[in-house]
Amino acid sequence: MVELHEISDEASSSSTTHCRGYDVFLSFRGVDTRHSFTNHLYNALMHANITTFMDDEEIETGEDLKPELESAIKASRASVIVLSTNYATSTWCLDELVLILEQRKASRHVVFPIFYHVEPTHVRKQQSSFGGAMAKHRQKMEAETNSSKRCQWAQKIECWNKALTEVADLKGMDANGRLEVELIDGIVKDIFRRLHTSSRFPLPQLIGVENSIKFVSSWLKDTSSHKTDILTILGVGGIGKTSLAKYVYTLHSHEFDTSSFIEDINRRCDEKSNGMLDVQKKLYEDISKPSSVQVHDVSTYTSMIENAVAREKVFLVLDDIGSLDQLDALLGRKGFHPGSKIIITTKDTWLTESCELFKLKGKSLTHEKHFLKGLFEIESQKLFCFHAFMCNDPKAGYEEVSEKLVKYCEGHPMALKVLGRNLHNRDVTYWDGYIDRLKKENNSPINNVLRMSFDSLPSENDKELFKHIACIFVGMDIDVATTILEACDIETRTGITNLIDRCFLSIGWYNKLIMHQLVQEMGRFVVREESFHKPWERSRLWGHESFRVLKQKKGTENVLGLTLDMKIINKEKLHGSLELKTDALSKC
């Protein structure tokens, strides 16, 4: 869970300079619940990163409210009032109650009454234990011989009576007949929802995706359908899928009964043998009451999740789904409570079409897709400059090299961010050679993210096809490329479809194969790894290295394909000696 800021705008405006801000102030009668319910509630709130004030001292009946408690109430966004059997016997508790309700009227202070084994009617009408406690306070008033103090007692009792009536009329929770763990879980979730705590999370810096934010936010707020809505956000690695999903989750999660954001699912499942169980456990705990049952089977957890999401309207974000098994294990096949929303981020278009749950589409489920593409040049420059210069435009003297770097990234947000941060406070001389150095670095952050996408390709045929296209066929007519590749016994029809689904490839104007420059470079990195210092031992050759290998007559049987740029040959004045008639050669 994202860490909460300690002081909210509302709290800071009403707090004293000596008191920190709190999300919740706990008002309770210590002899009733300090070492039981209230202590358990306090621990649950703090565990959920809800900053909570709980006084650790007991006060003798009749003492005035301490100044620090008054400050804590005024500095809190909400109060939880545990109305237990002996609550009204404490003048301190009653003074807290009066001040809390004054804060409710004066500001947006939220009040959560908990009727802890007492009847709301008894509180409202001062009956039973509340009636007895108020009778004793009146007896003390009548026994007071000082007329001024007696008048003060009368005024306080009148305020206490009004406060008890008012708090009993507020929407609260009744502990009667409920398990304490369920009650506490419900209180924590209610506080999250009513305080909109998620809206206080720091929002990520997003540039150039305003339209995507508006689209997803509008989709989330559309409650006209009684079905479950699923949105798949698609795009190549580093394009901003997670950032977009996190942004809208932060804005809107409080609008649902329960919510959960599970990040980086594919990596978490790959790193550990029981990774999926850990992910399921996190999801289940976010959307359901705590369970002491130890689960060691994925299918059992799936069944528990299915039952949990059927009960309440949920908002789930499943980030970076990498396989069909992951999707089925986390969503099941039975369906969700009407009005639920699920966002899935993935690099693979095919997955969300093949999930068991999606067979309900058209009956109780709707599904939309949102493709994230690269930023436009103006947005790219703004994002790059934000990280490189902490402003929207390049510094004087950096304009030309900044433009060169922005064009190199081709609108890829993560690449722009990484380059900007790495070049921050560097001189122009350092900038000039940076792109050339990047092209030679196999372990750059940008390449590593894209390499993970390549490694996740399930088929060796698709990996080989990707390397062929990245090294040789980008920009070529798809029909011509297919003819050549199939002659080399490479399956292309389903292979190209799979690469398009994985956002590695697209078909551009005039039927040309299009690949993002950074994706293409990653593919060429993979081939270079076959032999860093002896290019003739690699499987594919391109550019100057193709020319060098042919000139030096060092080609080996390892070479499956090469491409030659005729401009290089003309420059070297070797066109006639090589007798080449095409600008590309492929060898099976």
State the virtual CA torsion across 294, 295, 296, 302 in degrees, nearest 10: -170
In terms of Cα–Cα distance, which of 562, 474, 516, 489 is closest to 372? 516
Tokens of 470: 């990245």
Report the 10 Å Cβ neighbour count for 60: 8
How far apart CA 352 and CA 501 sit, in angstroms, is 11
Question: Please, which contacts does 388-394 make with residues 24 or more away whose CB atoms are closer than 8 Å?
Answer: 388/419, 388/420, 388/421, 388/423, 388/424, 389/424, 390/424
User: Measured at the alpha carbon of residue 12, what is the angle toward residues 163 and 68, in degrees to the nearest 5?
Assistant: 55
| 20 and 75 Cβ atoms separated by less than 8 Å | yes
Question: What strands lie across the sheet with 584-586, from one edge to the other?
Answer: 540-541, 561-563, 584-586
For residue 96, what are the contacts with CB-CB under 8 A and spacing of at least 6? Answer: 27, 65, 69, 73
Whole-angstrom CA distances from 545 to 65, 175, 517, 553, 583 are 83, 77, 19, 12, 15
Give the SS3 label for residue 260. Answer: strand
Residue listed under structure tokens 């709190």: 22
Asked if 367 contacts 232 with a C-beta cutoff of 8 angstroms, the reply is yes
* Cα(587)–Cα(253) distance, integer angstroms: 55
* Catalytic position from the list 60, 63, 70, 96: 96
**Whether residue 96 lies in the annotated active site:** yes
Query: Which tokens hold the place of 204?
Result: 């990520």
The residues assigned a catalytic role are 96
